[in-house]
Structure 1
Amino acid sequence: MGSVFTSIALPVALAIVMLGLGLGLTRADFERVLRHPRVTLAALACQIVVLPAACFALVLAFDLPPALAVGMMLLAAAPGGTSANLFSHLFRGDVALNISLTAVNSVLALVTLPLIVNFSLGWFGAGADHLGAQAKTALDVVVIVLLPVLLGMLIRFRRPGWADQMDRPVRRASFTILVLVMLGAIITNWALLAQEFGRLSVITVLFCLLSLTVGFVVPRRFGASHPQAVATSFEIGIHNATLAIVVAQTVLGSTELSLPAAVYGVLMLPLAIGFGTLVRSRYGLRPEPAA
């Protein structure tokens, strides 16, 4: 039963999530990032360089076991999650920029995620047999990430009306899938999670708060408006925990590696709401009601 969940259910679940992302994307979303090059480059640098480096420092400071250390690095390497778009909408961020960054980050992750994961596997000595399989890891990431996104974009191009109709149902399904995937990862490794929950909860909370703060402050230094900074904070601060769990269990074949992402996925939601509320009160803004 467990192998069926790992080999079939998880990839299918992620495919639905990424298909939903693709349904909301157009070519204009990729072109839009060129209109704000300084903000875009600052956000991408935070996502690809700053946060993995910060996560690496946290992992060393907390002296996590090798599998959990690699799991944290896998989470840091994951692009922004689809929930970031919703939070940007609620707290009056530039949702169009948010969607554009999600699209670009998802494509870049095809290269950056295997690089960071393989580096982590070598450094922490967890599953060293995967080190020589970087090309396969990248190919697997392409299959489970890029192809569903491209299919969603093709559907939107061919049948935009149907894509609009499916947007809300697919978003709801994606949220349900996210919850089920996290619960599955937690239940599968309950004993290890109970043993390491203290350290994992602290480090994931710190990492989430650091990600949200960096995502807001750094782009502001590069000229981002307040709505743009809100968008980048959620894009950078809300990592794709579902992708991290699926890569851990299906590509790397380890449920232990998925635990940090599962804990992060649970704790991230109230932290993101609290962060958005704090930023809103600081700038005297009110969130829009949920659709």
Structure 2
Amino acid sequence: MDSGLFAFFLPVTLSLMMMGLGLELSIKDFIRVGRYPKAIFLALFTQLIILVFIAFLICKILNLPPLLSVGLMLLASTPGGPTANLFSYIYKGDVALNITLTALNSIISCFTLPFIANLSIMYFLGDNQTIGMPVEKIAHVFLIIFIPVCIGMLLRQTLPSISYQLTRPMRFLSISFIFFIFLYALFREKSNVALYFHNAGLATGLFCFTSLFLGYLIPHVANIPEKQARACTFEIGIHNTAISLTIALSVLSNTTIAIPAGVYTIFMYVFAVFFGFMLTRKSNDLIRHSNSTKI
């Protein structure tokens, strides 16, 4: 595929994905925030502050190359992915809370993501001017994230039956898109794949495990109900790698920056299934213990 055509294809497809997310949202989802203020605050604080700081520490401690460091920081600044809702549903989390968190984080990230990306570029690349994010590109990121979500919400409000029918295809499109652009990034850098997994594998794997672990531990320690804690786990651990990959490949035009998000795509699904299994096992053990106590 021609790189110019692909540069056009990426933001268009991402816009469709964000519109698909909007199809599952309504104003009521934002009103619902008042029911879970503590869980929402902890989840957003963990994802927007703690994880970004942890990503920075990982970059420094493991001495990641500058471009891969920018990629990991970009990944850390992305909101929760649409598939977080699916994992939450499968493993009995509060899906409504997931949708609310995804909506809030998606909107907040319109402002925090460009800010963190710029700081990361300046810090890790120094005077290197080959990669930048000028004002028009920041606006570009805002447009392909925020506006489509609003359009999706409007469609849901005005054409609910059609919106419902489009929900499943949009989810399938999102999953397919993630794997497609991941394979594209690997193809573009096929001669360096082993090297990138060697350089970025440990960092992304550690970041993924930490995201899921803290996503459950922090709400659990704060006495958040189990169902909401599980929702936080997947919302924090399942990053929207499609956004990170799109910005790296389309906005920043650099495949190396896309590598951490691509590698993370593999880790997050594997670790999410593992965490879901452990949470399910924990619930079953508690049920068996409760039944034995009654006996």
Distance 1:105 1:277 in 2: 26
CA distance in 2, matches of 1:252, 1:271: 28
CA distance in 1, matches of 2:5, 2:72: 22
Q: Distance in 2 between matches of 1:285 and 1:21?
A: 35
- Deviation of 1:181 (Å): 1.3
Which residues of structure 1 form unaligned runs of 5+?
Answer: 287-291
TM-score for the superposition, normalised by structure 1: 0.93
Q: Describe the shift of the 1:285–1:155 C-alpha distance in structure 2 as closer, same or farther (beyond 3 A).
A: farther
Query: Does 158-167 or 117-126 show the bigger shift?
Result: 117-126
Alignment of 1:206 with 2:206, yes or no, is yes
Determine the C-alpha separation between the residues in 2 that align with 1:73 and 1:57.
10
Query: Whose radius of gyration is greater, 1 or 2?
Result: 2
Q: Where does residue 261 of structure 1 map in the other structure?
A: 261
Residue in 1 aligned with 2:292? Answer: none
Q: Is the 8 A contact 2:121 2:132 kept in 1?
A: no
Give distance in 2, aligned partners of 1:271 and 1:114: 28
Tell me the residue number matched to 1:230.
Answer: 230
TM-score relative to the length of structure 2: 0.92
Identify the residue that residue 22 of structure 2 maps to in structure 1: 22
* CA–CA distance in structure 2, aligned partners of residues 230 and 95 of structure 1: 9
Q: Percent identity?
A: 38
The equivalent residue for 1:196 is 196
**Partner residue, 1:121:** 121
Q: Is there any run of 5+ residues in structure 2 with no aligned partner, and where?
A: 287-295
Alignment partners' CA distance in 2, 1:256 and 1:169: 30
Q: CA RMSD in A?
A: 1.8
Q: Distance in 1 between matches of 2:65 and 2:6?
A: 23
Instruction: Please list, as runs of the form range in 1=range in 2, the aligned pairs for 1:1-291 lying within 5 A after superposition.
Output: 1-125=1-125, 128-129=128-129, 133=133, 135-284=135-284
Q: Distance in 2 between matches of 1:253 and 1:59?
A: 21
1:132 CA displacement: 7.3
- Following TM superposition, by how much is the alpha carbon of 1:222 offset from its aligned partner in structure 2, in angstroms? 2.7
Whether contact under 8 Å (1:130, 1:252) holds in the other structure is: no
Aligned mates of 1:96, 1:209 — CA distance in 2: 24
Give the Cα separation in 2 of the matches to 1:67 and 1:4: 22
Q: How many residues are aligned here?
A: 286
Distance 1:126 1:282 in 2: 47
How far did residue 113 of structure 1 move? 0.5
In 2, are the aligned partners of 1:39 and 1:224 still within 8 Å (CA)? yes
